[in-house]
Homo-oligomer: A and B are copies of this chain.
């Protein structure tokens, strides 16, 4: 596999979260080129309706297609939950979402079959994780929890401290009570909160970062050496002001050059 897939790997997210996926891809496929789009002018997605998210996902995908990508990674659980099947049906290139990779990682991890899922309002209310998990194993016990403030916290640069711990406790207490042995971080922003979440849940609970699972899926798809380019590079685009994105992106993930673009279609 992989040798037939040329072009860059395109990723989009509503904001910063997808950078956790890109970070994993940079590690596992360093010779590839990437195009990252953060739809920061309309972030967050997770509080919004399905129809709106599908529209935004189509616009993000359309912009990335113009950058001649060979694979699209929907590096956002909310967009994957709402729009993956639409994008798969409409796009002429392979599309990798967040749900299936995270589900497979959780199934490999769990011993008791008691799994927790945390995500945005939109992802959790869509029920996609339950559906995908139960399709693999109908005997699982799943507890899902929407965490609407996690994304605003991360986007405000708050990833540790008393208040973060309070939110982690508020959102993760139901998972602890149910005795989950594995928790899926069903949002690409949440790896930035993993220390607080892991500390609260304790060392016996496996915390599955979908970011890593997705990178593995992309590697399987394009092949470790597939499409190697002589000068791999990563281009970053955002829909809001560059400075707003750059400040936090740099704090989390180091220096990068970012350009602002407009992507709305009517």
Which A residues fall within an 8 A CB radius of B? 40-43, 47-52, 148-149, 152-153, 155-156, 158, 162-163, 166-167, 170, 239-241, 243-244, 262, 264-266
9 other A-B residue contacts (CB within 8 Å) besides A51-B241, A163-B163: A40-B48, A42-B42, A47-B155, A47-B244, A49-B241, A52-B240, A148-B152, A162-B166, A163-B167
The secondary structure that dominates the A interface is loop
Instruction: Give the docked Cα–Cα distance between A239 and B52 (Å).
Output: 9
A48 touches B52 (CB 8 A): no
Pick the contact of A241 from B40, B48, B264, B266 — CB < 8 Å?
A: B48
B52 touches A241 (CB 8 A): yes
A48 touches B163 (CB 8 A): no
A49 touches B243 (CB 8 A): yes
A163 touches B156 (CB 8 A): no
Instruction: Give the docked Cα–Cα distance between A52 and B52 (Å).
Output: 18
A130 to nearest B CB, angstroms?
A: 21
A243 to nearest B CB, angstroms?
A: 7
On chain B, the residues within 8 Å of A50 by CB distance are 241
